[in-house]
Amino acid sequence: MKYDFNKTIERRGSNSVKWDATVAFFGEKDVLPMWVADMDFQTPPFVINAIQQQLNRAVLGYTFAGEEWYSSIISWLKKRHEWDVEAKSLTFVSGVVRGQAHALQCFTEASDKVMVMTPVYHPFFQVTKHLHRQVVFSPLHIENNQIDINFNRFENDIKGCKMLILCNPHNPGGRVWTKEELQTIAHICHKNNVLVISDEIHADLTLPGYRHLPFTTVSAEAAEIGITLMAPSKTFNMPGVSSSFAIVENEQLNRQFQTFMQAGEFDQGNMFAYASTVAAYRQGEEWLEQLLQYVQNNIDFTEHFLQTELPAISMIRPQASFLIFLNCKKLNLEQPELEKLFLNKARLALNSGTTFGQEGEGFMRLNVGCPLGTLQEALYRMKTALR
């Protein structure tokens, strides 16, 4: 491999949320952090160089998104996802969750109903609630050891909602939704006048054997109601740069969204965000291919280890990204006991399943976006704790 994903990098002492905020979140300092969804790999050198080049200019002045910001995103989406996007549909947003908040404020009003499908990345419902919208929780279930949608339930729950926040691909379950599933979501939402925010931050991390489908590409109905949020942040391990974007193809919705974003100057990025995005999308394919292989290998390793060494814990095998939802139900522990087992006995910081909603009971989320050595250490700690 051209890039070295085995290299360990000292991240403690850098105000890293993953490494340094365990004190604030878990009350523990010396635990191995396998929680927050960034990776412990070096950010690709071409991204670092692009930021370095900005510094070399010696003036950190106001900078706009140049033509190359648009064209690099457009050609990446075409190449990786066979998606034709026009420059006018793109809007800079400083984060995907912030993009959700902007879209919620732009398209809904206080006390409007907004649906999320739990278990799901917790800011989906937290931000919605903090913005005083009513959260409708529509539970997902597990079918053939994968996260699945019960569409009867979905159709009932969506009634009266103004918006759905869809996680595509899904976190924490790692599901890559099929075309039929996305078309059904689009059809039901369209019929019920529901707009769909499709959070596609994990799209580029879809693993070999699966294909990500941007929500709005699955049908004319989806294109009419979809607001897509994407970023190079997860893909290229650069979430600290705060660089994301929205794609809104429906012209009327796009006008409304861009007017809202411009009014508050929420669409203003910064020189590092623009330059790093261009570098990532222009130069990132080879790095990403190697990363996906490495992550796949970590997932295989985890699956094999659980089967052979820790049969009381199983996993939902992710179809995208580096997060594994561990099924610990066989341990028969209440969630607080399960959390204590991982934290105090194994000395590991994992996200508790219930963080993502009640349906996460009995689960813990493990981040395997790290050198294999770190993952091995975490798995041995789990084994020893269980013994």
Ligand X SMILES: Cc1ncc(COP(=O)(O)O)c(C=O)c1O
Question: Site residues (CB under 6 A) for ligand X?
Answer: 37, 95-98, 121, 167, 171, 199, 201, 231, 233, 239, 244
Q: Give the residue from 128, 211, 43 showing the smallest Cα distance to 137.
A: 128
What's the rounded Cα separation, in Å, for the pair 26 and 350?
10
The residues facing 143 across adjacent strands are 146
Instruction: Tell the smallest beta-carbon distance from residue 258 to ligand X (Å).
Output: 19
212 is written with which tokens?
Answer: 């990500």
Q: Which is nearer to ligand X, 91 or 341 (CB)?
A: 91
At its nearest, how many Å lie between ligand X and the CB of residue 234?
A: 7
Q: How far is the CB of 228 from ligand X (least distance, A)?
A: 12
Least CB distance to ligand X at residue 244 (A): 5
Instruction: Select 169 or 310, whichever has its Cβ closest to ligand X.
Output: 169
Q: Cβ of residue 308: shortest distance to ligand X, in angstroms?
A: 30
Nearer to ligand X by Cβ, of 133 and 234: the residue is 234
Of the pair 217, 233, the CB lying nearest ligand X is at 233
Three-class HEC string of 312-325: CCEEECCCECCEEE
Cβ closer to ligand X: 94 or 305? 94
CA distances, 355 to each of 68, 113, 121, 159, 176 (Å):
39, 21, 8, 26, 21
Using CA atoms, how far apart are residues 9 and 371, in angstroms rounded to an integer?
9
Collect all residues with Cβ–Cβ distance below 8 Å to 225 and sequence separation of at least 6: 186, 189, 190, 194, 195, 196, 250
> By C-beta, is 216 or 233 nearer to ligand X?
233
Rounded-to-integer distance, Cα 134 and Cα 152, Å: 21
Nearest approach, Cβ of residue 37 and ligand X (Å): 3
Structure tokens at 208: 């070999």
